[in-house]
Amino acid sequence: MEIDRNCVYLIGAGPGDPDLLTLKAARIIAAADVVVYDHLVGQGVLALIPAHSERIDVGKEAGHHPVPQERISRILVGLGRKGGTVVRLKGGDPYIFGRGGEEAAALARAGIGFQVVPGITAASGMAAYAGIPLTHRDYAQSCLFVTGHLKDGHLDLDWAALSRPRQTVVIYMGISGIDEICRRLMAYGLPGGTPAAVVRNATLCDQQVVTADVSRLASACHGAGIRPPALIVIGAVVSLAPQLDWFSIAGSHCLPGRNGPGPGILDCHQGV
């Protein structure tokens, strides 16, 4: 693959574990003149940025957006006009709740060449490392990805669709509204006994998984002190987590104190 020296690359950095970065993404990062990166890009991925590359941190955290999205788009357009290999590094996948579509549209309007390099989205990485298959012939024939943080700050979701049986629902950016999310789902018919989980820092050594029925999930999340970044996953497939939890065993090589105490599942079905 030949790297375009006058292009803006929108690159998905994956869910956190640097080993999950694609080969194409790694090659482009190694050739970058400037890297514009988000808060959710893991330190292991940032370590791949060459020493000579300019770094621009535009990270956004829950409730704290020091660099507005419109300004990020302007930064990318400005860098694109200067030329060189510009990398826009985003956690997960650029086009799945990463606002990559907005940034690509801004570049297209400005007539600046860009390419999109997909990454393993947070939901897929989370599910694999938490022992939760997103689909399963016996439990879920469909999977929905939704955001719990809308542009206007309101949780105006299609609650009826999210409450249907035999599916898996993954909610991004929903921790701050988890009480309302669980309450609304049950109000629209989702049984309170439906298995659910919250996964924080998915794929990293300090991955934290809390499982509980939907009726108990919010209190379990609060009791465990879960903070963003975390994903909510709801559906019968969550019941497979104890059986398919390979990462708690394989992750025992994680060094204490490096990224936390190591991965594990806190089962709160018996109470919080």
pLDDT tens-digit map of 212-229: 999 999 999 999 999 998
Indicate the range of 95-104, 146-155, 234-243 predicted with least confidence.
146-155
Q: Do domains 6-117 and 122-267 have the same CATH topology?
A: no
Q: State percent of the chain over pLDDT 70.
A: 88
**How much is the pLDDT for 257?**
37
Domain residue spans in the chain?
A: 6-117, 122-267
pLDDT band at 60 (very low <50, low <70, confident <90, very high): low
Does the domain made of 122-267 have the CATH classification 3.30.950.10?
yes
Assess whether 38 carries a catalytic annotation: yes
The C-alpha torsion from 24 through 104 and 144 to 132, rounded to 10°, is 30
On whether the 6-117 domain is CATH 3.40.50.300, my answer is no
Mean pLDDT of 171-177: 94
Reported in sequence order, the residue ranges of 195-238 that DSSP labels E, i.e. its strands, are 195-200, 208-213, 230-234
Q: Which helix (H) or strand (E) is 54 found in, with range?
A: strand 54-57
Q: Please, which pLDDT band fits residue 65 given cuts at 50, 70 and 90?
A: low
Q: Reply yes or no on whether the pLDDT at 162 is more than 70.
A: yes
Between CA 141 and CA 41 the distance in angstroms is: 31
pLDDT value of residue 151: 56
92-96, 105-109, 113-117, 246-250: the lowest-pLDDT one: 246-250
- Please check the confidence at residue 62 and state whether its pLDDT lies above 70: no
**pLDDT over 70 at 269, yes or no:** no
Q: Per-residue pLDDT averaged across 164-183, rounded? A: 95
Question: How would DSSP label each residue in 77-130?
Answer: HHHHHH-EEEEEEESB-TTSSS-HHHHHHHHHHTT--EEEE----HHHHHHHHH
Residue 158 appears among annotated catalytic residues: no
End-to-end CA distance of the chain: 52
Query: Token pair for residue 205?
Result: 């050594």
Per annotation, catalytic residue among 24, 33, 60, 206: 60
> Once rounded to an integer, what is the mean pLDDT over residues 54-76?
84
Q: What is the rounded average pLDDT of the residues 117-144? A: 97
Partners of 212 in beta bridges: 196
User: For the residues 24-36, what does the mean pLDDT come to?
Assistant: 97
Of 17, 38, 93, 245, the active-site residue reads 38
- Mean pLDDT, to the nearest integer, of 48-65? 82
What CA–CA distance (Å, rounded) separates 67 from 182?
31
**What does the mean pLDDT of the chain come to?**
90
DSSP string, 176-204: GGHHHHHHHHHHTT--TT-EEEEEESTTS
**pLDDT bucket at 256, cuts 50 / 70 / 90:** very low
- Distance CA(20)–CA(250), nearest Å, equals 16
